[in-house]
Amino acid sequence: MRWLLKKAAVLLSTYHAYMLEYRGEILFWLLSGITPFFFMAVWMEAAGQGYTEISTDQYARYFFFVFLTRQLSLVWVSWNLSESIRTGTLSFRLLQPLDPLWHHLADHVAERGVRVPLMVPIFIVFTLLYPGTLTWPGWERALLGLVAVALAFLTNFFASYILGLLALWFEDAVELSEVWNVLITFFSGMLAPLSLYPETVQKVLAWTPFPYLVYLPSALWSGMPVAAGWPLVILLGWTLLFYLVSRGLWRLGLKHYSAMGA
């Protein structure tokens, strides 16, 4: 137990230091996540002309939290994995008495420690441009939203883990994570609050993980009418599913890696 905490602490602090070296990169990455604000600008214009029932303030609030949700749940582990497979550093990791998963998880969590402070200026600019739109959703929604974001992060993480492991069999499987990102952009509620989607589309999407990854936490935080209970359970189900598949694939992958010559 003592060693468990010690390992976690060392991994987190080292990767935090590592990510600090990349703060400039992270800042620009953060800035390239501002597309939700452009969608916001169009929806607010539409709302201003009276075309939708949602008010301009609600749009501002919703899209700010979409931005926040995306920033908190971004992952790149597929890239890390395929890189370690390509360069062979995976071999070193396999010879250490610690599952490489923990390295990657620590790397991602520690990065948030750099990313979140960098988001403060964006928060300030936003509150100056749209004063009064950001309101406290209440403890319950705030916490539920946090749980949803954490689960969304883990779901993204394990999905990305799966895509990265595919690099063991197919070179350049990294492109697949782009497909995942495209699907998130258009079908998770980044483009518009999900309630504006046609009903059949909403019904179909409910069967995919996407709406839970962005819409659920954003709607919880921005006070949109959304049920928390069932959607959270479904999201948890997706998280577990991706976790189990990623572990299974990891085992298969190791066998393959060791059969094909590491």
Q: What residues make contact with another protein under the rule CB under 8 A?
A: 3, 6-7, 9-11, 14, 17-18, 21-22, 24-29, 31-35, 38, 41-42, 44-46, 48-49, 51-52, 87-89, 91-98, 129, 170-172, 175-176, 178-179, 182-183, 185-187, 191-192, 196-198, 255, 257-262
Query: C-beta of 167: minimal distance to another protein in Å?
Result: 11
Q: C-beta of 53: minimal distance to another protein in Å?
A: 9
Find out whether 165 and 81 touch, Cβ atoms under 8 Å: yes
Instruction: Return the amino acid letter for 48.
Output: G
- The nearer residue to another protein, 26 or 228, going by C-beta atoms, is 26
- Cβ closer to another protein: 97 or 229? 97
Q: How far apart are CA 217 and CA 180, in angstroms?
A: 19
What crossing angle do the helices spanning 139-165 and 229-260 adopt, rounded to 10°? Answer: 20
Q: Which is nearer to another protein, 80 or 239 (CB)?
A: 80
Which of 140, 172 has the CB closer to another protein? 172
DSSP state string for 30-47: HHTT-HHHHHHHHHHHHH
Smallest gap from Cβ 212 to another protein, in A, equals: 18
Write down the H helix ranges in 130-228. 139-165, 175-187, 199-206, 210-213, 215-222
Closest approach, Cβ 262 to another protein, in A, equals: 4
Least separation in angstroms between CB 205 and another protein:
11
Q: In the structure encoding, which two tokens stand for residue 259, read together?
A: 């059969």
Q: How many angstroms separate the CA atoms of 212 and 69, rounded? A: 11
Please answer whether residues 173 and 163 qualify as being in contact, where contact means their C-beta atoms are separated by less than 8 angstroms.
yes
Q: Which is nearer to another protein, 123 or 186 (CB)?
A: 186
